[in-house]
Amino acid sequence: MVSLRFPTAAIPRLPPSQAPNGVAIAATVAAAAAAAAAVAASLTLTGKSTGRPVPHPAPLWASLSLADAAAPSSVEPRTGATFPTEAAVGRRLLGIGLRKTSVLGLKSIDVYAFGVYADDNDLKQQLKEKYSKFSVSELKGNGELINDALERDIPMTVRLQIVYGRLSIRSVRSAFEKSVGSRLQKFGGQDTKELLQSFVAVFKDEYKLPKGSVIELSRESNHVLKICIEGEEVGSIQSKLLCKSLLDLYIGDDPFDENAKDDIHENIASILKS
């Protein structure tokens, strides 16, 4: 049974303000206060015209404190793509890799960099009891650990960052149709076409993917696959088979990046023994 949900468009978040410095602090705070007042007035007008509740703007000190420190990140060395070491929902970065493809079997193209995330507590809750007797070194060489990570209801996120500047959404659909389709057949047999089409149909022509664009594919609780493009949720599908097939591309047999899989495997092992 496949369950589809398509949410309304998300309201984009404004970037945090830069913190003021030195003798200019008073002028900066005054300007920020004036801008906050203007935003508040705009929100009030919008809320009244639409009949929706009017959101309260964040206090000025909150905006200033957010800019004081940049979030830590890790870099994919070949492309320079950066990944936050912790996702917004508290999931930590387990490993970074690169998806490459070839043109006519000759030229290799870097398509996107990716990072795989999971929450320590979710991993421990699902896996620690079974693997508590193993050492870290034993867990690193235990292929069954990855199979369990694929099979069980562990929330995980794969964050894709586009590094190929001429990638179209049509190309993304075609690539997923081939790669995810092969995994669906691997785990579920031949009768998976409807499920595959429900997934690739989420990637509509209206979405553009310039270099630096971010796609997030998340297995949430109860094996719900949530798809986000540039921070906007564009669809979700409840299917254990689809979630497993998608994650298998990155951490299963014959992954897109073998080194990334090894790093992810090693980090899961370390988390279980921490």
Contacts of range 11-14, beta carbons closer than 8 Å, 24 or more positions apart: 12/231, 12/232, 13/231
Please indicate, yes or no, whether residues 111 and 222 belong to a single structural domain of this protein: yes
Region 153-167: mean pLDDT is: 97
Same domain, 80 and 210: yes
Number of domains in the chain: 2
* Average pLDDT over the chain, rounded to an integer: 81
Which tops the pLDDT comparison, 142 or 31?
Answer: 142
Both 119 and 208 in one domain: the answer is: yes
pTM of whole model > 0.85?
Answer: no
pLDDT single digits (tens) 13-50: 444 444 444 434 344 434 444 444 443 434 333 333 33
For residues 144 and 267, state if they share a domain: yes
Residues 45 and 150 in one domain: no
Same domain membership, residue 189 and residue 217? yes
Please indicate, yes or no, whether residues 29 and 129 belong to a single structural domain of this protein: no
Beta carbons within 8 Å of 257's beta carbon, 6+ residues apart: 97, 98, 99, 114, 250
Verify that 115 and 143 share a domain, yes or no: yes
Phi, psi of 89 (to 5 degrees): -95, 15
Residues 213 and 177 reside in one and the same domain: yes
Strands (E), 119-198: 156-162
For 133, the domain range is 71-272
**Do 82 and 171 fall within a single domain?**
yes
Q: Is the pLDDT of residue 269 over 90?
A: yes
Domain boundary among 34, 50, 66: 66
Residues 165 and 32 in one domain: no
Q: Average pLDDT for residues 170-192, to the nearest whole number?
A: 94
